[in-house]
Amino acid sequence: MPERKTQPRMLRPGATVGVLGGGQLGRMMALAGSAMGYRFVALDPAPDAPCGQVSPQIVAAYDDIDAARELARRADVITYEFENVDAGVAALLAEESYVPQGSALLYTTQHRLREKDAIETAGVPVAPYRKVASLADLAAAAVELGLPAVLKTVTGGYDGKGQAVIRREDELEEAFRRLAPEGAFPAGTAPGETASAAETASAQAPAGEDAPLVLEKFVPFQCEISVIAARSPGGEVRSFPPAENIHVNNILHLSIVPARVPEEIRQRACELAEQLIAGLNAVGLLAVEMFVTEDGELFVNELAPRPHNSGHYTMDACATSQFEQHVRAVCNLPLGRTDLLTPAVMVNVLGQHLEGSVGRFCEDDEEANRLGVIPKLHIYGKTESKTGRKMGHINLLCKDTADALAWVEQTNLWRN
């Protein structure tokens, strides 16, 4: 991948930040950066995208080379708000403009096998895994790793999509058929049939980087946590306090800060995140999702080289928000302090919660007053609300996270 261009000086307020992607992360980045005096321009194919409501927007497809070059002409520095940006476009921009994050990390994090290999290379623990290019590979990997295990596609997939938990041997073929790309089975092999040994061998590809699937050993975890780390071009690294994350239907529901794990585990999680962002030579933010086992071990699950949903609590609860920190990093400013100013719980507002959340925010909240909880509402400006779609979030500032969790429970807004 092309090397990123170097920038010999910091970009002072007044410079323009170009953002690949115009969703809610770009919007909140632009709002944070604008408060510091930076200008923004976003590239997104959707007219009236959330970021385009608060900054100029180039309406074009992400792989539109002319539009990408226009973004490069208008911006002093370019970043991205989600990792599924076309890596080729990011590489082109890295040649023609200043892209401090480069394209190499995108190339890595867009592919689960490359990502896991990179985590291991950095010396950070990850759940044991095996590459899977055929049903025979899957059967062998299941024997080696043991069941239960999780089969995942190496590209795509989010909020639980593109994966299947396999608990018994008789579930292997069904999971493989559901996730494997077309052509992974010998022609004419119907569901429930077994191909001959010769047919199976001819259908197998080497289980290298081109393998379409990965099988991960199931980690019996006590909880999931995440750490948002930041790194400047000069190598300064800071991390935010770990958040404990609770998912419902594979979508993040709550982030609790401080995470309800021993202090030594929180400290170790920050150390691993900082080790990883330095080892990857990343610039900007890196969200590191981890499993915490019953005996206190930590295993990295996934990475995201951008602001992250589990870091939204920083907008109201920390000395510096994750969005300001990202702008600071890509503009080569000194990183801000990451102190937690108050305990907090972040709760996502999905489409089915939007009307009730906004309605409650517009009234005097006696329950919040009684519990000593301060709700801070953030709405993303999406033009269409759907069940399961992230429309906003609420940061609940509190003295004790138990009070904030009680508020969430007693509102009855998040029961569906």
Query: Is 107 assigned a ligand-binding role in the annotation?
Result: no
Query: Is 163 assigned a ligand-binding role in the annotation?
Result: yes
Choose among 133, 307, 105: nearest CA to 206.
133
Query: Is 301 assigned a ligand-binding role in the annotation?
Result: yes
Cβ neighbors of 355 (< 8 A, separation 6 or more) are none
Query: Is 80 assigned a ligand-binding role in the annotation?
Result: no
Query: Is 5 assigned a ligand-binding role in the annotation?
Result: no
Q: 10 Å Cβ neighbour count for 346?
A: 28
Q: 401 and 256 in contact (C-beta within 8 Å)?
A: yes
Report CA-CA distances (Å) from 126 to 141, 159, 207, 219, 355. Answer: 16, 20, 19, 10, 40
CA 116, 62, 17, 74 torsion-angle sign = positive
Query: Is 157 assigned a ligand-binding role in the annotation?
Result: yes
What is the DSSP pairing of strand 390-397 with strand 374-379?
antiparallel
Looking at residue 370, the DSSP 8-state letter turns out to be H
Alpha carbons 89 and 107: distance in angstroms, whole number:
11
Choose among 210, 214, 202: nearest CA to 141.
214
Using DSSP, state whether 319 is helix, strand or coil. coil
Query: Is 161 assigned a ligand-binding role in the annotation?
Result: yes
Query: Is 216 assigned a ligand-binding role in the annotation?
Result: yes
Choose among 266, 247, 59, 279: nearest CA to 158.
247
Q: 10 Å Cβ neighbour count for 414?
A: 18
Alpha carbons 282 and 106: distance in angstroms, whole number:
10
Q: 367 and 36 in contact (C-beta within 8 Å)?
A: no
Query: Is 208 assigned a ligand-binding role in the annotation?
Result: no
Query: Is 120 assigned a ligand-binding role in the annotation?
Result: no
DSSP per-residue string spanning 57-93: EEES-TT-HHHHHHHHHH-SEEEESSTTS-HHHHHHH
Query: Is 386 assigned a ligand-binding role in the annotation?
Result: no
Q: Any idea which residue has 């095996």 for tokens?
A: 130
Query: Is 302 assigned a ligand-binding role in the annotation?
Result: yes
Give the tokens for residue 280: 């990857």
Query: Is 247 assigned a ligand-binding role in the annotation?
Result: yes
Binding-site residue numbers for ATP are: 112, 152, 157-163, 216-219, 224, 247, 301-302
Binding-site residue numbers are: 112, 152, 157-163, 216-219, 224, 247, 301-302
